[in-house]
Amino acid sequence: MFAAWLAVSLAIGAGGTWLARRHALRHHLFDAPGERRAHTAPTPRGGGLGIVVALLLAGGFLAHGVDDRLTWGATLAGFALVAGVGWWDDHRSLSPWMRLAVQGLAAALFAWATWRQTDAPGLALLAFVLAMGLANAWNFMDGIDGIAATQAVLVAGAVALATTGPIAWWGWALVGATLGFLPFNFPKARIFLGDVGSGALGFALAVLLVHAVSATPSISPWLWALPPSAFLIDSSLTLAGRMLRGEAWWRPHALHAYQKWARSRGSHVAVTLAYGAFTVCAIACMFTFWNLAVQRDRVLVVVTAWYIAGTGIWWALQRRPEGKGVIR
């Protein structure tokens, strides 16, 4: 059953990506090179549609096994909204405020579903914040080949390994579908996730992480801050820096640490793999302290230390001398 589930998800992800690429080529949906881009040739976008389709189909199938179909339906509706506004933006550019408004509605649906299911206002607030934060973090961080997809596979895999039931199966569907997309995007991108894929992946990961916090009450919820730490550190610190400098933070840019590092190396592959290694270490740290049953206050110290170390790495990468550009 497990192998078949992964295989079907992978096939839908790969087939959907292939069809999305044909659609993008036919309708001239390209990301053109530019000052704020890390590629040097026009590249099709919207390849994340196959992942979205796989997750919606998996979610519909899993609805038969959930305790409350209304809350699961609201969560899937939020996911579809984020993917839909991204797909629209991939075809004709939308105002960032319109995207944020739709994402806010989607996050509110997920927060309501979480509150209804758990009767925990704090967890509902976390659901809203994470849904908004990760949907945008994955969009911000989808700037070099393979980085957003590999990070999604690792974070979703960590949740799927640590949980059971429908949410674990949905996590494995995300892993399989994203692995189906990955050969089209790494090590050399033939299509990008697009807003349809990056925003939807971030939202789906927020769903997985909130359910993981709810499903593992015996451990400190702070441990779940470790798997997405690479993206949270880079996206939040870069955004904060732009806001403090008075820049138009909502506009596209190429100021993230991973982007500067890729330009200095002249290659995307090493940077994507290094971010992946950082996340693997974070996940290993999470499971280590989980198995040791460390007291919750000590877990918070460990997680804080991890984020401080990550901040130091981010600071060092921001100050690396840059190269002349990156070829995708």
- Burial of residue 68, with CB atoms counted within 10 A of its CB: 0-12 exposed, 13-18 middle, 19 or more buried: exposed
Model pLDDT, residue 320: 80
Region 91-106 average pLDDT: 94
One-letter-per-residue 3-state SS of 27-91: HCCEECCCCCCCCCCCEECCCCHHHHHHHHHHHHHHHHHCCCHHHHHHHHHHHHHHHHHHHHHHH
State residue 294's pLDDT score.
64
How would residue 323 be classed by pLDDT, with cut points 50, 70 and 90?
Answer: low
Given pLDDT bands bounded at 50, 70 and 90, which one contains residue 38?
low
Query: Is residue 230 classed as helix, strand or coil in its secondary structure?
Result: helix
pTM: 0.95
At 216 the three-state DSSP class reads coil
Name the residue ranges covered by the structural domains of the chain. 2-318
Q: pLDDT tens across 40-82, in order?
A: 678 999 999 999 999 999 999 999 988 899 999 999 999 999 9
| Rounded Cα gap, residues 253 and 242, in angstroms | 10
